[in-house]
Each structure stands twice: as C-alpha cells, then as structure tokens.
C-alpha cells in the first residue's frame, strides 16, 4: 500500500467542499472516466474583484484524486483568479504533506481543472489535451507539451517518473522511446545528461519495512489482481491471462472478445494501475506479443 500522510487520509475520509457550488460562474472539467480519473471544479467568483468566494469539486478517481481536489478548493478560496493561477501541482502536494510519486498525476489534474475553470470564467477556450503538441501517449491522450512541462516543473529524470506524474507510458508502453527522447531534450536544456538507468525521484519509505518482495510473491500478487478483472471481462466474452513475469514487467494475453478490442489498452492500463496500488511498486503490464524471445539452454549451446 502507498504511504499516505495524515492530511491525505483526512481529506479522503472528510473531503472539504465536495459537490457542485450553487450559483457557480466558473466550471473546469478535466480527465476522462474511461481513463480512470476525472475532475469537475466549480467556482463562485466575485465579478467586481475576481475573488473566488466559494469552490467545490466532483471527482471520479482514487483517494489521492479526492484529497488533491479537496485541498485545492481550500487553497484557492479567498484568492483572486490571478493568485489562484499561481498555485502549482507541487503546492497541492505540499499542502497534503506529500503524495506518493505514483499519485502525483492527481495533483496535476487539480491544477489543470483550475486553469480550465478560470478560462471558462473569462470566456476563453482551454483544452486539457494540449492540441498544440504532438500526441505521445495514445492510451491516455498525453502530448509532448504536457510531458515537457512536468519534466521541467518537477525535475523528472526517468520514464517511470513521467508515468507517475502524467500517466503517459502507463498503458501499452509503445511510447516509452518517445518519452525518453523528451527527457533527453529537456535534461540537455537543463544542462544534464539523460541516463536511462537513473533512479526515479525519491519515493517515500514504506509504512512498515517488510523487506523486498520476492519474485514468487510478486507473481502471486499479480495473479490475484488479474483474477479480480476476469469475471467482468468474461461476462463480455473476453478474458486475460498471465503469460510471464520478468523482473517488474508482467506479460499478459487478451483473449476472446478482448483480443484486438480497441479498449484492450485501457484494460491493460487499468490492471497496471491496480497492481501499483496493491503492491506499492512500479509494475509494467505489457501484451505478451511484445515479450522478448527467451533464449533456451539448447539454443545458447549452439550459439
């Protein structure tokens, strides 16, 4: 399980300003329920002073999404729109005494919802898909502009970091090379060299030091999570099976109606997200078709 601060737990169990604001004159909507996270932020803004007099949220997502949305509404009430726009995703996370790296995308979603609400109030158009940038991650509709911004703002160094902060790369993994290219570009501008083997940004210590998970324990946990997805998939004529686990990468086969389905990437991404929540570590779920060929002992002897 993630190591959540007391503030995150408080805002999750006792969310502040949940629900839509009556008489709201600014609305910001970001995310997508199909991708697992969505946020609707409503504001009541004083037309004379542009001070945010009230704020409310409605969210579909995990506990971190609820906590980030809750604390955001508390931060911005009483601020002018221009002051509120200076609030960053780091400010949201800091107010919660930190978020696990794998959940930082929730604070990013809150910041974007605020930008969208302010644009809505001012009669401007704001889109969370950053159409001016090339689409990098098709699974979660994340583009190069979004990734570059997060790498700069949060000093990210690895593909794992980018996935934690934006979800990009958390689905089929086909965009990992493009993410590495963006990291190389931004780090060069920062005067640093990109190291594909660099450690991700610091993670919080686990709640209880239980030692590293063995590969057998990891396989059993992965099997348990996949089993929890199977009933719904089978009801729709599909299924998923675990083929192999190599280090922290699980290779799966989508069968039946799920084989070739346009939503299979979303299903795989959902399995991966659930695995990371259950296991408290970064796990990749990849179609078995992308599994590298394993060299057998017999093949090696003839090499």
Catalytic positions: 35, 106
Residues 67, 10: Cα–Cα separation, whole Å: 8
CA-closest candidate to residue 17, choices 93, 76, 89? 76
Contact predicate 170/139, CB 8 Å? yes
Residues 175, 135: Cα–Cα separation, whole Å: 10
155 — alpha (psi -120 to 50), left (phi > 0) or beta? left
Residues 216, 12: Cα–Cα separation, whole Å: 33
Reduced to 3 states (helix: H, G, I; strand: E, B; else coil), residue 47 is coil
Residues 171, 263: Cα–Cα separation, whole Å: 11
* Residue whose entry in the numeric block shows the structure tokens 């644009």: 119
> What is the length of the chain?
303
Using a CB cutoff of 8 Å and minimum separation of 24, what contacts does 151-155 make? 151/182, 151/183, 151/186, 151/187, 152/186, 152/190, 153/88, 153/89, 153/90, 154/89, 154/90, 154/104, 154/201, 155/201
Task: Give the contacts of 47 (CB within 8 A, at least 6 positions apart).
Answer: 25
Contact predicate 62/106, CB 8 Å? yes
Residues 41, 190: Cα–Cα separation, whole Å: 34
Strand partners, 39: 30, 59
């Amino acid at each position: 399980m993630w190591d959540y601060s007391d503030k995150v737990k408080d805002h999750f169990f006792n969310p502040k300003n949940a629900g839509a604001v009556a008489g709201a004159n600014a609305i910001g909507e970001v995310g997508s329920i199909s991708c697992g996270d969505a946020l609707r932020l409503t504001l009541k803004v004083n037309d004379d002073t542009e001070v945010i007099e009230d704020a409310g949220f409605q969210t579909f997502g995990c506990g971190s999404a609820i906590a980030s949305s809750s604390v955001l509404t508390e931060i911005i009430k009483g601020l002018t729109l221009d002051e509120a726009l200076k609030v960053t995703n780091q400010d949201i996370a800091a107010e919660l005494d930190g978020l696990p790296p794998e959940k930082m995308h929730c604070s990013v979603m809150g910041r974007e919802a605020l930008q969208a609400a302010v644009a809505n109030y001012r009669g401007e158009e704001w889109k969370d898909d950053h159409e001016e940038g090339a689409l990098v991650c098709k699974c979660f509709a994340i583009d190069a502009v979004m990734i570059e911004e997060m790498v700069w703002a949060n000093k990210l160094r690895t593909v794992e970091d980018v996935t934690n902060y934006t979800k990009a790369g958390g689905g089929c993994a086909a965009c990992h090379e493009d993410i590495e290219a963006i990291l190389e570009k931004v780090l060069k501008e920062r005067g640093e060299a990109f190291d594909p083997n660099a450690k991700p940004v610091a993670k919080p210590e686990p709640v209880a030091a239980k030692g590293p998970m063995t590969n057998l324990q990891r396989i059993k946990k992965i099997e348990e999570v996949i089993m929890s997805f199977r009933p719904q998939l089978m009801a729709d004529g599909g299924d998923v099976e675990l083929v192999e686990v190599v280090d922290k990468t699980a290779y799966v086969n989508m069968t039946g109606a799920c084989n070739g389905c346009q939503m299979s990437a979303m299903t795989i991404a959902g399995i991966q997200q659930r695995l990371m929540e259950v296991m408290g570590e970064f796990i990749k779920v990849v179609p078995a078709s992308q599994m590298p060929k394993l060299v057998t002992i017999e093949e090696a002897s003839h090499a």
